[in-house]
Amino acid sequence: MERRVVITGLGLVTPLGVGTESTWSGIKSGKSGIGPITLFDATEYASQIAGECRDFKVEDWIPKKEQKKMDRFMQFGVVAARLAWEEAGLTVTDENATRMGVMIGSGIGGLTAIQNQAMVLKEKGPRRISPFFIPSCLINLISGHVAIQYGLKGPNHSVVTACATGTHAIGDAAALIKNNQADVMIAGGAEAAINELAVGGFAAAKALSTRNDDPQTASRPWDTGRDGFVIAEGAGVVVLEEMASAKRRGATIYAEVSGYGMSGDAHHITAPSPGGEGAARCMVAALNSAGINPDQVGYINAHGTSTPLGDIGETQAVKAVLGEDQAKKIMMSSTKSMVGHLLGAAGGVEAIFTALALKEGLIPPTINLHDQDPECDLDYVANTVRQAQVDVALSNSFGFGGTNATLVLKRFH
């Protein structure tokens, strides 16, 4: 009999706050975490807005001597993992340590450290490069730090699949538990790419919103006024646990991870495949793995980046999977309208929002949706949170290179 996997701990660091309570209360109230960039002088940049984690104070969480060993993305990941782990309330022993592991990834990783140390090299020479430079920017070192901190000797791995990273990490980690290679996994994604190089690069690719005069309305999925995504930073990490074990110890269970799908577009390095064909195959694979029929889906936390092509493609994909009539009955929203696009951390954060939606019977809104694109004609839960109890939800993430990931989460009874 296949082992079942549940979520028993949540860790969030987002533009709406540190911890689940502050972020989720912001989501429920339709609050935007987007503002002008303060992490560097963005005056000369085409896009000057971002979702910064302004409430995050590293000194509150990480000792000073450890801070220099971690790029900002790593700090976010370590803190989110701590929040999730402490909430789950697990104890590590000599007997169970090898059955507990970590899988936290990032789409871009330590780009700030790379940028800054490249400047040191150019201006001061190779002898001034920090001895902590390499370990501070390696993506798998989030998993390394977390495993060391808690003594977790099971699978230690990392995922790098652009904006699908967090979703892939949770899906892959859940598969390890289902396949009896682990009993507990800490999984998710972290990102901190609000720096000169990343913002300049994404802006050069015409990917970012330039609604600089009104940051809080810049992320507007499915709205005719959308003009690109808003870059954001943070982390979303969950504790996954074998269900029977979680029930035995009386753990709080947020949702069951019942299905997971992946696909590749094999089409273009940045654009989605026509009609959302790759995304549709991904959702079908996830539903099949869960043994769920399309008409059982009640909510989709969309990838919903606020890009002209992406929003249409995902809408078309949902219609292809669910059928036109069923697609118009379900609720679909983009929490990126409030927190921006956390790139490799997006899937982790959005899986948590999806789990909370199932547990609390509250569907997050898509804010800034005032003039809906005629080609995007589904129920996007515009502007206001909605009370609705659903049993099955999908969480979608699609990345550059045509990499797609979908989680199927079920309400835990």
What average pLDDT does the segment 227-249 reach? 97
Please give the CATH number for the structural domain made up of 5-248. 3.40.47.10
Coil, helix or strand at residue 58: helix
Segment 201-218, tens digit of pLDDT = 999 999 999 999 999 999
Average pLDDT over residues 194-199: 98
Does residue 168 carry a catalytic annotation? Answer: no
pLDDT given for residue 364 in this prediction: 98
Residue 242 phi/psi, 5-degree rounding, is -60, 130
Buried b (16+ CB within 10 A) or exposed e, 157-180: bbbbbbbbbbbbbbbbbbbbbbee
Annotated catalytic residue, options 137, 282, 303, 376: 303
Q: Are strands 299-301 and 331-333 parallel, antiparallel or unpaired?
A: parallel
Q: How confident is the model at residue 374 (pLDDT cuts 50, 70, 90)?
A: very high
Mean pLDDT, range 103-126, rounded to an integer: 97
Residue 1 above 80 pLDDT? Answer: no
Q: pLDDT grade, residue 35 (50/70/90)?
A: very high
Regarding pTM above 0.95, the answer is yes
Mean predicted confidence (pLDDT) in 329-358? 98
Annotated catalytic residue, options 53, 163, 282, 376? 163
Please name which of 197, 193, 137, 204 lies closest in space to residue 163, comparing C-alpha atoms. Answer: 193
- Please indicate whether residue 163 is annotated as part of the active site: yes
53, 145, 341, 376: the catalytic one is 341
The whole-chain average pLDDT of the chain stands at 97
Give yes or no: 145 in active site: no
pLDDT (tens digit, 9 = 90+) per residue, 55-78? 999 999 999 999 999 999 999 999
C-beta of residue 139 within 8 angstroms of C-beta of residue 168: no
Cα gap 20→275, rounded to integer Å: 35
pLDDT of residue 12: 98
Confidence of residue 2 (pLDDT cuts 50, 70, 90): confident
SS3 call for 332: strand
pLDDT of residue 192: 98
Determine the distance from the C-alpha atom of residue 259 to the mean position of all C-alpha atoms in its chain, rounded to a whole number.
Answer: 17
Q: What is the Cα–Cα distance from 146 to 265, expressed in whole angstroms?
A: 33
For domain 262-410, give the CATH superfamily.
Answer: Thiolase/Chalcone synthase (3.40.47.10)
How does DSSP classify residue 233?
A: -
Residues spanned by CATH 3.40.47.10 within the chain? Answer: 5-248, 262-410
| Residue 33 banded pLDDT, cuts 50, 70, 90 | very high
pLDDT at 270: 87
> For residue 413, what pLDDT is reported?
86
Chain centroid to Cα 142, Å, comes to 15
Cα separation, 127 vs 336, whole angstroms: 42
